[in-house]
Amino acid sequence: MAKINMKRTVLVTGAGGFIGSHLVDRLYADGHDVTGIGNFAGGSDEHLAGKTDRSRIRFIEADITDSRQLKAEYFHGTDWVFHLAARSGNAKSLAEPFAFHETNVSGTVNVLEAARKANVKKLIYAASSTCYGNARCPTPETAPVAPVSPYGLTKFLGEEYVMHWGQVFRLPVVSLRLYYVYGPKIRPGGSYGALVTMFLNQLLTEGHVTLSGDGSQKRDFTYVADAVDALVTAARSSIFGEIFNAGSGQVSDLKKLAGLLGGRIVHAKPLSGEIMSAYPDLHKIRRILKWKPKTDIITGIAMVLASRDMWEKNPGNAPDRMRDNLKNRQRNSRIRRLKINV
């Protein structure tokens, strides 16, 4: 394993996103030189807050789908590239499959090529557990891949390109399949941590949480600091060419999640084809990377609620937008009859 205190030059794609912004904060706090690439709709000032040494951090507005914007100079001299930029959301991908392919597949190839040409020392890819679809649980990395949405498919295809670049071009790569990441800065109505964001939206606008059926569906909810720690651990290690699951190691049903968030619980008719269980086998990442999660869901949700002022001010919590998101998800579920893992 690399020394923890060794300073690195790192680049993060998707730096303006939920997980990406937390990763940038962690890397800066660890003393590294950080370049963040992303779409900073609200500007980069909020991401610079609290970072007094501006010589160690910079943010660049760039679209990974446009190879001309991923200038070689951004990647030169880089030790680690964390590729997090992506379109996310199962339901949304049904309506925009081409856009998801363009970002999650073609965009990934652009990042890989930029990293390869710059002789980057290691690339870490944030993959998605949605590649497994309706798999038997706990799910190991060797389980069959059976995505049920364009989102899950395109994230898996991105991973395939990452591993291929590792094999053919000898680019040192690692892929982490993340499970249901949530935490402070999460956006109600956003795509990450879909169940948490959906429930937060319902609480904001309706004062209750709606559970499908009795709420016995089981999930692994991963606190964002743990997800970030898994990514950093993978980068520090001497391991490459491997795929790992990353989760909390705890199984929670949706009834427990709703109870922790607070508010009244309303039960609705069970959704046809809904995935009842989605949680990983973490033996591989524990054994090889010596990594283990630290935050249980009770502590994690408490920290989300403590940061309520942060997510309440986010424009993504607009009631009309939230209701449109829910209606679209329900309509797509009926029309497509797909087993959407939300």
Please indicate, yes or no, if residue 342 is contained in any of the structural domains: no
Please indicate, yes or no, if residue 1 is contained in any of the structural domains: no
**Looking at residue 44, what is its pLDDT?**
57
Indicate the helix (H) or strand (E) that contains 333.
Answer: helix 319-336
How would you label 149-169 residue by residue, b for 16+ Cβ within 10 Å and e otherwise? Answer: bbbbbbbbbbbbbbbebbeee
Give the C-alpha separation, 338 to 342, whole Å. 11
Please indicate, yes or no, if residue 273 is contained in any of the structural domains: yes
Give the C-alpha separation, 74 to 242, whole Å. 26
The question of whether 192 is a catalytic residue gets the answer: no
Find the CATH number of the domain harbouring 96.
3.40.50.720
**Looking at residue 315, what is its pLDDT?**
42
Structure tokens at 297: 């869901």
Give the C-alpha separation, 102 to 65, whole Å. 7
Contacts of 170 (CB under 8 A, 6+ apart): none
Please indicate, yes or no, if residue 329 is contained in any of the structural domains: yes
**Looking at residue 321, what is its pLDDT?**
43
- How many domains does the chain contain in total? 1
3-state helix, strand, coil in the chain (%, to 5): 45, 20, 40
**Looking at residue 53, what is its pLDDT?**
82
CB-count exposure of residue 73 (10 Å: 0-12, 13-18, 19+): exposed
Please indicate, yes or no, if residue 341 is contained in any of the structural domains: no
Of these residues, 125, 132, 151, 182, which one is catalytic?
151
**Looking at residue 307, what is its pLDDT?**
85
Its pTM stands at 0.88
Range of the domain at 100: 9-336
**Looking at residue 339, what is its pLDDT?**
44
Supply φ then ψ for residue 97, to 5 degrees: -65, -35
List strand residue ranges (DSSP E) for the chain, in order: 9-13, 33-38, 57-61, 80-83, 122-128, 173-178, 181-182, 208-212, 218-219, 222-223, 242-246, 252-253, 264-268, 277-278
Please indicate, yes or no, if residue 113 is contained in any of the structural domains: yes
> Which segments in the chain show pLDDT lower than 70?
1-5, 41-45, 47, 188-193, 272-273, 309-342
Please indicate, yes or no, if residue 2 is contained in any of the structural domains: no
